[in-house]
Amino acid sequence: MSPRRKLVEVRNLKLYFPIYGGLLRRQVGSVKAVDDVSFDIYEGETLGIVGESGCGKSTCGRAVLRLYDATAGSITIDGENIADLPPETLRKKRPSMQMVFQDPQASLNPRMTVAGIIGEPLDEHTDWDRKKKLERIYELMDAVGLNRDFAHRYPHAFSGGQRQRIGIARALALNPRFIVCDEPIAALDVSIQAQVVNLLEELQDQFGLTYMFISHDLSMVRHIADRVAVMYLGKIVELAPVVDLYDHPAHPYTEALLSAVPEPDPSAERRKDRIVLTGDVPSPANPPQGCNFCTRCPRVMDICRQIEPETREILPGHFVACHLHNQDKTTGRTGGAQAEHTQNQIQQGEDA
Partner 1 sequence: MTDTVSFRAPRNQWWDVWDQFKTHKGALVGSVVFIAILLFCFVGPTLWPYDATYIDIRSRNQGFSLAHPFGTDQLGRDIFARMMKGGQVSLAVGVVAMVLSVFIGTAIGVMAGYFRRIDGLLMRMTDLFLALPLLPLLLVMSMLFRQPLSSAFGVETGMFLLIVVAIAITSWMRTARVVRGDVLALKEREYVLAGRSIGTPPRRLILRHILPNVLSPVMVSATLMLATAIITESALSFLGMGFPPDFPTWGRLVADGVDYLQQYPSRSMLPGVFISLVVLSVNYIGDGLRDALDPRIRGR
Which residues of the shown chain bind partner 1 in the complex (CB under 8 A)? 62, 65, 67, 90-92, 94-95, 98-99, 101-103, 106-113, 115, 120-121, 124-125, 147-149, 151-152, 154, 156, 167, 170, 174
Q: Which is nearer to partner 1, 121 or 284 (CB)?
A: 121
Q: Which is nearer to partner 1, 61 or 309 (CB)?
A: 61
Please enumerate, as own/partner, the contacts of 305-313 that have beta carbons within 8 Å and a separation of 24 or more. 310/334, 310/335, 311/38, 311/236, 311/239, 311/335, 311/338, 313/338, 313/341
Q: Which is nearer to partner 1, 69 or 273 (CB)?
A: 69
Q: Which is nearer to partner 1, 120 or 255 (CB)?
A: 120
- Smallest distance, partner 1 to C-beta of residue 111, A: 4
Secondary-structure percent of the chain, ordered helix, strand, coil, rounded to 5: 40, 25, 40
- Smallest distance, partner 1 to C-beta of residue 137, A: 11
* 56 closest CA partner among 261, 320, 283: 283
* 165 closest CA partner among 126, 107, 123, 220: 107
- Smallest distance, partner 1 to C-beta of residue 30, A: 18
**How far apart are alpha carbons 69 and 28 in whole angstroms?**
20
- Smallest distance, partner 1 to C-beta of residue 18, A: 13
- Smallest distance, partner 1 to C-beta of residue 20, A: 13
Three-class DSSP category at 73? strand
Q: Which is nearer to partner 1, 90 or 260 (CB)?
A: 90
* Cβ partners under 8 Å of residue 195, min gap 6: 161
